[in-house]
Structures are given as structure tokens and as C-alpha cells.
Amino acid sequence: MLIHKKSDILSSEITSKENFENRRTLIKAAGASLITASGIFTGLMSGSANAASGRQKINAFAKSKYGTEEKLTPYDDVTTYNNYYEFGTSKSDPAIESRLFKPSPWTVSIEGAVKKNKQIGIEDIFKLAPLEERIYRMRCVEGWSMVIPWIGFSLAKLIQWAEPTANAKYVEFISLNDDLMMPGQRIHVLDWPYVEGLRMDEAMNPLTIMAVGLYGEVLPNQNGAPMRLVVPWKYGFKGAKAIVRIRFTETMPKTSWMKAGPNEYGFYANVNPTVDHPRWTQSSERRIGGGLFTPRIKTQMFNGYAEQVGQLYSGMDLIKNF
């Protein structure tokens, strides 16, 4: 995602094979000491923790009616190939650098054009909506994709509870700003905190969820614990991680990526194979986890979710509104 010119890349940033191997070992070790949101889940969903791995099962969730027959991306790839600039800009950084991140206790502030303008603890958010597994295709603007079995709840439920006023046209999602726990924030690669946004009807769409887990387990830190947005018909950067503020606004939020590169990252960010990013084709994608020689696959309009969300954009010029 970085707006990098070739000459900006320092030779020290290019990972040697030896360094790469060291990192893989560290990532494995990180897996063993995942600081999960255990505190949050204890007693809430009768999750059972694995003492050796630190990973914690979520037992109480419904199976999804939104499935896909496609092969799931292996757990190891989902949790070690991440974009999370608060923990570094390379794909392997977040799994290592987020080991000490504490996703509990956690409070979310509900703000702006809304009746319940107040703070809510994550335990109370869990009481608003049942958890469900959603197996979604995820497409990154960089040209790779995954199929992830998320566990989450419908964002619409939280919005209904918050009671937005008639002035609420957009929802802004703001990630944690804490450079003690998030060392990547000491470098100004983005205008911190990370900000994303949706139009109200997009936020209310049944496909839009707040994810709190994956693969039947509590969300690992590197994937956005304790709670992150998942919008499967949009490029992955819309999915803000570690959300602490949800603000209802009358005007379109200025998102972090729009500020960093207005010609490269639009507000809508709908997956659209006919509109290329200046540096990456959007017509095809590389499925992560398939091995080096796996052929690229064709990217679908709205990432294959056109039937469910196409009507949200009828009459809109999706080349201008990229």
C-alpha cells in the first residue's frame, strides 16, 4: 500500500533470506504467545483457551448463511501475511510486533449524529448482537486475495442500538492511537490514527460485519483485535482494525488512505476489475496460500457480491467514484 518510489526503498529494508527465516521462527513463537482478548470472552461465550498456543476458541456462534465453496486460506497465512501499519509496513511485521498489544479492557466511543452519544464496553457490545461465522472472499488492492472464515456480528445491530439521527449520512471508524502499544505509529507513514468510513446504507448492509474472531477463535492481534470492520465487496483497506471510535457524520469522512494518496485510494473502494489502481491491475488476483505457480484468478465485480450490493450504487459513475 505504501506510496513508495523505487529509489525510496533502502537496501536495509530488503529482507535477506536469513532474516526472512528468522522472522518466520519469530512468527511461530508469536503464535505461541498470542495475547488474545481472553478477558473479554471469559464467561461470555464459554470459550476454551489452549494453554500452549494461547489461542482461544469461541464456542457460541451460529453458522453462516453467507458461504462460499472456495478453499479457505490456511490459518498461518491469514495470521502472518498482514497489512497493519501501526505494527510496521512489511507483511510479517504485525504478527511479531503486536505480541504485547493488549486488546482488553476495551471501550468504544459512539459519537456524532446519534442519540446514544456515549462509551460502551466491548462486553456490552457483544450483548447487542449474536455472533455468526461469515466465510468471505477478501480482496486487497495490492492484487492478492484470501478466503477467511470470520466470526462477527452484523454492524447494523450496533447502529440500530446507537440510534443515529436524520443527520447521520456516513459512519467513520477510528482505530486506536497509542504509539506505546503500536510502535509503527512512531513513524508518520499514515496520518494517525487510522480512519475509514462507509456511507450509512453500506454500513447497514447485512454483509457488513464487525469481526471479533476467525477460524472459530478469538481474533489475533495482527488481524485487528478486539474488533475490526469487514466489508467483503470493498478492498481490504476499508476494514479498519482495533476500532475505538465510531462517529456518525453528515459529511464524507476523510480516510487515512485518501489523505495519503487521493489519486490511488478512493472513498468507495469497491472491488472493480474495470478500474485499475495506478500501480496494480484489478482485473485479476493472486490467491494467497496456493503456492508460487498457482495461476491468477479473475477478479469479480464487487468481489462476487454484486447481487447483494450492486443496487447500492445504481446510477453512480463507478469510474469517478472509485
Cell of 113: 449524529
For β-strands 284-287 and 144-154, DSSP reports them as: parallel
240: which residues sit within 8 A by CB, 6+ positions away? 173, 174, 175, 194, 195, 196, 224, 228, 229
Please state the closest distance from residue 194 (CB atom) to ligand MTE, in A.
3
Among 83, 98, 205, 299, binds ligand MTE (CB under 6 A): 83
Closest to ligand MTE by CB, 42 vs 109, is 109
Residue 241 in the binding site for ligand MTE (CB under 6 A): yes
Residue 213 in the binding site for ligand MTE (CB under 6 A): no
DSSP 177-213: --TTT-GGGGS-SS-SSPEEEEEHHHHHSTT-EEEEE
Closest to ligand MTE by CB, 92 vs 113, is 92
81: which residues sit within 8 A by CB, 6+ positions away? 91, 92, 288
Among 34, 140, 210, 309, binds ligand MTE (CB under 6 A): 140
Residue 237 in the binding site for ligand MTE (CB under 6 A): yes
CA distance 209 to 234: 13
321: which residues sit within 8 A by CB, 6+ positions away? 266, 267, 268, 313
Among 1, 37, 210, 271, binds ligand MTE (CB under 6 A): 1
Closest to ligand MTE by CB, 93 vs 164, is 93
Residue 305 in the binding site for ligand MTE (CB under 6 A): no
Q: How many residues bind ligand MTE (CB under 6 A)?
A: 17
Residue 240 in the binding site for ligand MTE (CB under 6 A): yes
Angle at 237 between CA 300 and CA 307, to 5 degrees: 30
Please state the closest distance from residue 96 (CB atom) to ligand MTE, in A.
13
Among 31, 197, 236, 253, binds ligand MTE (CB under 6 A): 236
CA distance 125 to 36: 18
Residue 82 in the binding site for ligand MTE (CB under 6 A): yes
Closest to ligand MTE by CB, 189 vs 301, is 189
Contact residues toward ligand MTE (CB under 6 A) are 1, 82-86, 140, 175, 194, 223-224, 236-237, 239-242
